[in-house]
Copies of this chain bind each other. A is one copy, B any other.
């Protein structure tokens, strides 16, 4: 099998025994600030394009800071292999059936990723993405300790999703509409979607295509601006 040639580290994370995840997430945010990891949580339905969006963003961001990815899944290592194949440190986190990651599960994954991100002595500030479990419900309920929460919604899923999954859009720092190259094939009203998102919260909406790269420069610029602000804070 091909997989033998391209291996990634797979870790089985344990559900946190801490009762107060929100408190632990704040603690993790502080730990990551001290260590120099800008941690970005990406939430979406299965198949809306988290991995392909990352493949577009990573080269744009890596000019400024080393980048890595935590891939969370119930099972399989296909996404971590894809990211590793593109040349970025990646660790596959298996949740053992759980539909979300909490702060301590993030911490377990980040510990493993740090070794690959910083093989040398010097720890240069880095940007680490979490590809959360594909799910618009549960991940929204758990603070992962990330600095930013991004939500990806792809055109084929429909413009009504902020009505049905309010919390994830309410928590989003930015909303990414992916697969806009397929806008003509599907009945998706971008204006209506923007209005539906605005009902949930003030998150900016970026319209992109991970297939063609459209809109990715703008999204990367916004992310870098957030990263710089965090570094200087």
Q: Closest CB of chain B to A43's CB: distance in Å?
A: 12
Chain A, range 120-139, C-beta contacts under 8 Å to B: 133-138
The stretch of A26-34, A162-170, A213-221 in contact with B is: A162-170
The stretch of A15-23, A62-70, A74-82 in contact with B is: A74-82
A residues within 8 Å of B by Cβ?
A: 45-48, 73-76, 78-79, 97, 99, 133-138, 141, 154-158, 160-161, 163-167, 179, 181-182, 185-186
| Residue contact A76 to B185, C-beta cutoff 8 Å | no
* Given A78-B160, A137-B138, A138-B137: A46 and B47 interface contact (C-beta under 8 Å): no
| Residue contact B47 to A158, C-beta cutoff 8 Å | yes
Q: How far, in whole Å, are A137 and B132 apart by their CA atoms in the complex?
A: 13
Q: How far, in whole Å, are A121 and B226 apart by their CA atoms in the complex?
A: 64
Q: Which of B79, B136, B141, B156 contacts A134 (CB 8 A)?
A: B136
Q: How far, in whole Å, are A166 and B76 apart by their CA atoms in the complex?
A: 9
| Residue contact B156 to A179, C-beta cutoff 8 Å | yes
B-chain residues with CB within 8 Å of residue A158 when the two chains form the complex: 46-47
B-chain residues with CB within 8 Å of residue A135 when the two chains form the complex: 99, 135-138
| Residue contact B137 to A75, C-beta cutoff 8 Å | no
Q: How far, in whole Å, are A133 and B168 apart by their CA atoms in the complex?
A: 14
| Residue contact A164 to B46, C-beta cutoff 8 Å | yes
| Residue contact A156 to B76, C-beta cutoff 8 Å | no
